[in-house]
Amino acid sequence: MAGTGKPIHCRAAIARSPGEPLVIEEVTVAAPKPREVRIKIICASVCPVDVTFWESKHPSAIFPIILGHEAMGEYTVVDIAHVTKIDPQTPPDRACLFTCGVAAGVGAAVKRAKVEAGTSVAIFGLGVIGLAVAEGARLCGATRIIGVDMNPDKYEIGKKFGVTDFVNSSSCVDKPVSQVIIEMTGGGADYCFECVGSTSLVHEAYASCRKAWGKTVVLGVDQAGAMLTFNSYDVLDNGRTLMGGLFGGLKPKSDIPILIKRYMAKELKLDEFITHEVDFKDINKAFDLLLEGKSLQCVIWMNK
């Protein structure tokens, strides 16, 4: 909704201190400045990054704070550079999933790594992002998609998105996961994705990748300042590629409409990511479900 040039009042979920339940209060939303638009939020979803800020594990977390790069208030003001026009027929609860994790995962496979048909993929962590990577790899025609997780229940969930094999990392006591994957694939996966946020898993994913042409994409966020250390000779000699995958390498204005078009054409699976829905007044339940590992994507409706 275009701004009128005047401030407005609306509800917002505010985190007043780390880890404490969010409180819904009335706030003032400033009038749009030049090149800004005021947008009415219909629904939103909770992302693990929101939890990182809420728990004050991100260096830029300052309290009180209104969380939500996927939107947590009734209205917000954003720069027009951050607004993407989409098909108006797109269901809003599906559209909001393209604001972070799902888009990042699919994009990491489709655009950042450019997974080729007939190749092998290993995904470390089968949360929303990892499952979205699997879906992206499936769309690309990967023939073997290996999921790595400590929770064996994730295999059945992963199958919905194309996961063909599963490695329970907690059961790998005699050999590292990388060795298991190397043996499974006959030399290493063509593409590996770290979707947890652990420097040790980045190393493990990198080691699981096939020498000479393998690519490893980092999508997880470790604690601020966590360092990665590699042997410089190995980096040169093994020919593998290590890359970051911020938002899957997508350009929102051009790439998000394409992904939505694929969803509307029933090519891209999206419905399966939504496991719960709550009203705005019950927003803390959405955080609880995520922290307890009981939800993939929980959609929060502002005025349903």
Q: Residue 196 domain-assigned? A: yes
Is residue 120 domain-shared with residue 245, that is, in the same domain? yes
Is residue 222 domain-shared with residue 274, that is, in the same domain? no
Is residue 69 domain-shared with residue 144, that is, in the same domain? no
- Which SS3 state, helix, strand or coil, does residue 303 take? coil
221 or 33: which leads in pLDDT: 33
Containing H/E element for 263? helix 252-264
In this predicted structure, what is the pLDDT of residue 266?
A: 97
Is residue 78 domain-shared with residue 106, that is, in the same domain? no
Burial class of residue 197, CB neighbours in 10 A (0-12, 13-18, 19+): buried
Tokens 């790439």 locate to 255
Q: Which two tokens stand for residue 205?
A: 């994913």
Give the pLDDT confidence of 3-12 residue by residue, as tens digits: 458 999 999 9
Residues in the chain: 304
Determine the Cα–Cα distance for residues 297 and 270; give it in Å rounded to an integer: 10
Cβ pair 96, 71 in contact under 8 A: yes
Asked, as a colleague might, if the bond just before 176 is cis with ω within 30 of 0, I would say: no
Banded pLDDT at 61 (limits 50, 70, 90): confident
Residue 19 makes CB contacts below 8 A (sequence gap 6+) with: 54, 55, 56
Average of per-residue pLDDT across 203-224: 93
Going through the chain in order, the beta strands assigned E by DSSP cover 8-15, 23-29, 36-40, 43-45, 65-66, 75-79, 120-124, 144-149, 165-168, 191-194, 215-218, 241-244, 274-279, 297-301
Number of domains composing the chain: 2
- Domain range for 294: 8-83+270-301
pTM: 0.92
Question: Residue 75's domain is classified under what CATH number?
Answer: 3.90.180.10
Determine the Cα–Cα distance for residues 157 and 155; give it in Å rounded to an integer: 5
Q: Residue 259 domain-assigned? A: no
Q: Residue 133 domain-assigned? A: yes
Is residue 32 domain-shared with residue 156, that is, in the same domain? no
In this predicted structure, what is the pLDDT of residue 251?
A: 96
Average of per-residue pLDDT across 259-273: 97
Is residue 146 domain-shared with residue 32, that is, in the same domain? no
Q: How far is CA 151 from the centre of its chain?
A: 18
Tokens 């489709």 locate to 110
